Structures are given as structure tokens and as C-alpha cells.
Structure 1
Amino acid sequence: MSTNVNDTTTARLPSEVVAPQRTDSIPQQGSTQPGDGSELHGEPKLSFAERTIAAAQITRGTLLGQESVKKHGEKILEGTASAQDDKKNL
């Protein structure tokens, strides 16, 4: 019983075997040298410290009824404000 390597009647497309899936990750690219411009950059993520400060400000603003503090915490999470902004005013 010999198997013919060129027999295409048994081969199926991957999309027929498995349903396609979407992903949010950036596709990988080959690179020959560091810094050659082939990198794809996603949105910058907030650091753990900035997320912690934002969550603390939202909680503090909610519990103490300080809307400005709460809004500033929300702006930090959105990326429109820095955790270092208006430290004296809070």
C-alpha cells in the first residue's frame, strides 16, 4: 500500500478544519538587526504604579465625595492625564 505524496484529494485547508479566530496581539515580524524599524508598537500601557494611583484616587474621590479627585483618577486610566499632574491640588 503506497501513499502518493502528490495526492491533493485528501488535503484540507486549515480553515475547513478549525474555525478562524481573531486576536488583539501584534503580529510578529522577522528582524535582522536591532532597531531596524521592523517593530510594531502597540498602545503604551500604564505602569502598575500609575494604575494603583488612579485606582486610589477614584476610590478616595468616591468615598470622600471629591469629584475632582475621582475625575483625575479616571483621566489617568484613560491616558489623558499623568499620575504626577496636580499633586498639590489633590
Structure 2
Amino acid sequence: MNDKLAVCRIRTDFKNFNMVMDQFIEKIPLKIENYKDIKIISSFITNNVFNFDIEYSCSDQNIKNIFENVMEEIAGRPLKFIIELKPIYLK
């Protein structure tokens, strides 16, 4: 499978956002990159949304599952969040 580029956004309510924000820079990227099919190019926070520019070589659903698993693992309990994946097309 060819590598694809995308922006992955994780939206959560403000309470949950504050809970995971401290671990954002440190733990989320490290745990995500433990999966072989994904590489984080950059990560940043805007308007209470976690943003990841990623390169990946698996299905979009697998990417969403990876981010869901990591978020739940870090929080230690289920969180309310929405994961959006927006492809980046290079011309």
C-alpha cells in the first residue's frame, strides 16, 4: 500500500481536553508511533483540538482505531472524543 498523508484531529470537551493536554506532547506521539503503519510528521494544538499531520500506509479506519486506542490508554478510562481524518493531496 502506498503511503498517504492526512491531518488527524481529535476533538473532545474542555474537561477531557485539559486532562490529556499535559500528556499530549510527551505520550500521544510516542504511543502512536509504536504502530508500524503510521508516522507523525507534526503535532499541534489549536482551539482545544489535537492535530496530527501523519503519514500512513493502512486503512483510514485502522488509523482511527489506533488514535482511539491511544487516547483511551492514556486517559485510563473511556473519553468522549471525535476523531476526524482529512486526507492531504499533493499536486
TM-score category of the 2 structures, normalised to the smaller one:
under 0.3
**Greater strand content:** 2
TM-score when scaled to structure 1? 0.25
Structure exhibiting the larger radius of gyration computed from Cα positions: 1
